Every structure is written in C-alpha cells, then in structure tokens.
Amino acid sequence: MPSQNPYEPPRYDVDGSPEPPSADDPRPIPFEDLEGIPGFWRRVGTMFQLLFKTPYNLVDRIPVTDGLGAPLRFALLCSLPITLLMALIGILLAVMGGILATQGTAKGPEGWIFAGLGLFYTVLIPLSVLAGFFVGGVLSHFFLWIWGGLRDGRGLGQTMRANGYYLGFFMVFYLVPILNVFVALGGPAIQGITLARLHRTDTWRGVCAAYTPLCCGCLAYAGLIGIGAAMGWFE
C-alpha cells in the first residue's frame, strides 16, 4: 500500500525497477511506459523481470492504456528469434531445391518444392503471430463470454492486448527445447489466469475459455480422421 503521508519523501527501488502501480497512480505496462522507463531494451527487460517477480502486477498494468500497436509489436519482437531460425531453415531448403533443379535429379516441378517450402517457412512465424494476435484474441474473448467471464466491462481490445503480450512470452519460451512441450500444454492455463484477472472473473472460467479452442481443434482433427477412416481414405 502506498503511503498516505503527503510529507513523506518518495522512495525508489535500489535495483532501478519501476514501482508497482497503485490505485491512485497506476503505471502503464513497462513496454508502453516510455516516460517512466527510458530505453527500449530496458523496457523489454522489465517485462520479463515483472513476469518472473510479480506476474499479477504485470497483468494489472495491461488495462491502464489502450491500443493494439504496442502488444502486437511486442509479440512480433519476441517471435524474432524463432523467425530467424525458420528463415535459416527456409534458406537451406531453397538452396537444396535449387541444387536439385539444376542437376536434374528431380523431374518436373518437384525440385522446386524445396524452394517453395523455404519461402513458406520464412513467412510462417510472422503470419502465425498475426493470426494468433487477431484471430486468437477474438476467439479468447468469445469463449470467455461463452463461459460467463465478461462481467466487469473490459472490452475486446483489452482481451486482445493481453493476448498479444501472452503471445510474445509464449514465442520466447516455445523456442527452448523440451520446455516447449510444457509451454504448449500449460501455456493456455497461464493465458486463462491472465484473462480471468484482467476481466475480474473466476479463474476457472478463464482457464476453460483458454483451453476450449484447443479442445475444439482436437475434436475437429479426430472427427476428420474418423470420417476419413469411415470413407476408406487410408486404405
């Protein structure tokens, strides 16, 4: 709780980290706090610092401001390492396709399939981030409404903002081998907790809303396999 004594001098953290937002003077999320945290990479570092130290503090800062530009930029920035990795794979595939095509070891257009895959891998991650930000944000808000979690008036924009910052952290930790399995399975739970705190609703509603699209996708995939098996597609 901040001090109510107007004559008390201001206090600062010795490590230079920003003070948590208060009810009287909430701070924006660090990535958007240009005035309070000068320096681009310092703001990025503070995002991860708060994520590990006080994640609820980080969530509470999201609705202080509006706009989708900052969370989208954060998501694209955090996806840059895996984008560069996929681009490298794409370049290798393109070179392989060019070698096969010039040597004539592959007939017809088959040799150039590798080049097409190279281009696909290069643009796959940015397109996935854009789809995850806009489509994923809308779906998260919709399913949260389905589970009765929209009660305090937080709009679609704030859900998409939270989804953008979650997506950025997800892309960073998903790049780590072995850890990415746990991130893929447990990430929606973190997203659900974030949405629940943002919309001030029950935690189970947010978690159910986050896992519902995943469950629907699994059911749709199983349904397609069942239909294919019934029609003899796999014989």
Question: Is the pTM higher than 0.95?
Answer: no
Helix, strand, coil abundance in the chain, percent, nearest 5: 70, 0, 30
Closest to 75 measured CA to CA, from 172, 187, 179:
172
The one-letter amino acid at 43 = R
128: exposed, middle or buried (Cβ count in 10 Å: 0-12, 13-18, 19+): middle
List all residues 6 or more positions away from 17 whose beta carbon is below 8 Å from its beta carbon: 46, 49, 50
pLDDT at 234: 63
- Express as a percent the part of the chain with pLDDT over 90: 49
pLDDT at 20: 44
Q: Which residues of the chain have pLDDT under 50?
A: 1-3, 6-24, 106, 108
19: exposed, middle or buried (Cβ count in 10 Å: 0-12, 13-18, 19+): middle
pLDDT at 23: 47
213: exposed, middle or buried (Cβ count in 10 Å: 0-12, 13-18, 19+): middle
Between CA 130 and CA 168 the distance in angstroms is 11
Find out whether 105 and 111 touch, Cβ atoms under 8 Å. Answer: yes
197: exposed, middle or buried (Cβ count in 10 Å: 0-12, 13-18, 19+): middle
